[in-house]
């Protein structure tokens, strides 16, 4: 049994639900978690898993927390690192490149192999907006043993920022097909479109809603659900939210757009059941940020039977094969997306075949069990 220590800043926001099975379900491994803070204990339980949390003060009585904050982080980090070393891992698996760099000292202290998963923002945006991370990643790329990405586009990005190509492995995240039964969609009552994501520029949600508006103005019957939200202290996210609300009030979309706010992964899947299209209009943001590979929800929705429409962005084309498992458009090209939506209403039963192809494609290439077995192979090769 391999002893794998997973390091991550926060275990675990619901927007990072794809990390959970990597911690709990890789075959023939014993896991532990080293984190800075914990926020998802109820949704992502770690019963029987060792947890080394640096935030001592978060576990103290409220009356003591202000005092604890003064030295709690320092002593909490020291204590958590000491306990993690004493756990004697065979492998350190860092989630996100930033956490990989922070894990170098632990790698040195334990003489353990370090595997780092890069997921997106830390590779695309961070080296641009905070150049010090180019230096830190250079250190990580030199000392780290393996760097995992979701697809070939992300692999090329790591090479661009200095990672040796022979240290990069490609592995899809994988979805749990046992929780995603296929349901044949029907399109006779119009397009029921779902978009899912935080209100950040790279998700392209405003582009998606503009295209839905254009299709509705051309006479296409649409219903749109936007699943996600923005934090109260996020000015950019609030601006995106305001634009989405403004677009939803246009006459052609009036009463046809629903905003759900943030939902748990379970509730997202339940919501998707009443839709027939998953729309992912992702694009590069002004600061260079982009998807790490492809939206996780896209694979889940395709497995459930939704028709996939997405941009030619990052590794989206690993999931969406043009006219076979879905439809693609150039990122930011609202006019092309509008044309796709407008044409779908006349296709009818031909769309069901594409949805069936999508399910089979996910089964073959994005099955969680297969991808976790592949992760175990990487552990064997480097542990």
How would DSSP label each residue in 61-104? -HHHHHHHHHHHHHHHHHHHHHHHHHH--SEEEEESHHHHHHTH
Task: Say if residue 90 is in the same domain as residue 165.
Answer: yes
Beta partners for 52? 34
Check residue 33 and give its pLDDT: 96
Check residue 346 and give its pLDDT: 67
Task: Say if residue 65 is in the same domain as residue 184.
Answer: no
Q: How far, in Å, CA of 21 to CA of 372, rounded? A: 8
Check residue 348 and give its pLDDT: 63
Check residue 63 and give its pLDDT: 41
Expressed as residue numbers, the domain containing 30 is 2-174+368-382
Check residue 59 and give its pLDDT: 47
Question: What total of structural domains would you count in the chain?
Answer: 2
Task: Say if residue 62 is in the same domain as residue 73.
Answer: yes
Q: How far, in Å, CA of 17 to CA of 11, rounded? A: 10
Q: How far, in Å, CA of 195 to CA of 180, rounded? A: 18
Q: Which of 296, 244, 297, 250 is nearest to 269 (CA)?
A: 297
Task: Say if residue 11 is in the same domain as residue 98.
Answer: yes
Length reported for the chain? 383
Task: Say if residue 377 is in the same domain as residue 309.
Answer: no
Residue 195 C-beta-side C-alpha neighbours within 13 Å: 29
Task: Say if residue 358 is in the same domain as residue 317.
Answer: yes
Task: Say if residue 63 is in the same domain as residue 181.
Answer: no
* DSSP annotation string for 103-153: THHHHHHHT-EEEEE--SHHHHTHHHH-THHHHHHHHHHHH-SEEEESSHH
In tens, the pLDDT along 238-270 reads 999 999 999 999 999 999 999 999 999 999 999
Task: Say if residue 127 is in the same domain as residue 66.
Answer: yes
In tens, the pLDDT along 97-108 reads 999 999 999 999
Check residue 65 and give its pLDDT: 45
155-185 as b/e: b if 16+ CB within 10 A = bebbeebebeeeebbebbbbbebeebebeeb
What CATH number is given to the structural domain containing 338? 3.40.50.2000
Taking the model in full, what pTM does it have? 0.90
Task: Say if residue 243 is in the same domain as residue 373.
Answer: no
Task: Say if residue 13 is in the same domain as residue 145.
Answer: yes
Residues in the chain, pLDDT under 50: 57-65, 67-68
Task: Say if residue 264 is in the same domain as residue 141.
Answer: no
Task: Say if residue 48 is in the same domain as residue 106.
Answer: yes
50 phi and psi angles, rounded to 5 deg: -70, 135
In tens, the pLDDT along 146-192 reads 999 999 999 999 999 999 999 999 999 999 999 999 999 999 889 99
């Amino acid at each position: 049994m391999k002893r794998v220590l997973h390091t991550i800043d926060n275990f675990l926001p619901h927007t990072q639900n794809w990390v959970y099975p990597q911690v709990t379900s890789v075959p023939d491994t014993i896991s532990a978690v080293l984190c800075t803070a914990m926020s998802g204990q109820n949704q992502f339980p770690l019963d029987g898993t060792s947890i080394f949390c640096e935030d001592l003060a978060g576990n103290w009585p409220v009356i003591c927390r202000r005092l604890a904050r003064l030295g709690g982080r320092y002593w909490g980090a020291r204590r958590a690192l000491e306990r993690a070393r004493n756990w004697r891992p065979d492998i350190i698996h860092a989630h996100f490149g930033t956490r990989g760099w922070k894990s170098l000292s632990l790698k040195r202290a334990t003489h353990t192999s370090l595997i780092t998963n890069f997921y997106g923002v830390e590779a695309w945006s961070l080296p641009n907006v905070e150049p010090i991370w180019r230096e830190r990643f250079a250190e990580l790329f030199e000392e780290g043993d393996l760097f995992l990405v979701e697809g070939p586009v992300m692999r090329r990005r790591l090479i661009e920022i200095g990672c040796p190509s022979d240290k990069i492995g490609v592995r899809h995240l994988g979805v749990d097909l046992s929780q995603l039964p296929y349901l044949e969609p029907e399109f006779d009552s119009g397009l029921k479109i779902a978009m899912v994501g935080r209100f950040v520029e790279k998700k392209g949600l405003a582009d998606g809603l503009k295209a839905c508006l254009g299709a509705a103005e051309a006479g296409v019957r649409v219903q749109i659900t936007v699943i996600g939200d923005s934090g109260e202290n996020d000015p950019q996210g609030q601006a995106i939210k305001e634009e989405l609300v403004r677009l939803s009030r246009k006459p052609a979309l009036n009463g046809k757009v629903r905003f759900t706010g943030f939902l748990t992964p379970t509730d997202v899947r339940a919501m998707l059941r009443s839709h027939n299209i998953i729309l992912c209009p992702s694009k590069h943001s002004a600061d260079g940020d982009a998807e790490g590979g492809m939206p996780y929800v896209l694979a889940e929705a395709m497995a459930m039977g939704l028709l996939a429409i997405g941009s030619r962005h990052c590794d989206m084309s690993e999931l969406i094969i043009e006219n076979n498992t879905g439809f693609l458009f150039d990122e930011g090209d609202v006019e092309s997306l509008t044309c796709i939506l407008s044409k779908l209403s006349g296709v009818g039963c031909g769309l069901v075949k594409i949805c069936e192809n999508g399910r089979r494609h996910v089964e073959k290439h994005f099955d969680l069990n297969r991808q976790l077995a592949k992760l175990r192979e990487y552990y064997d090769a480097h542990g």
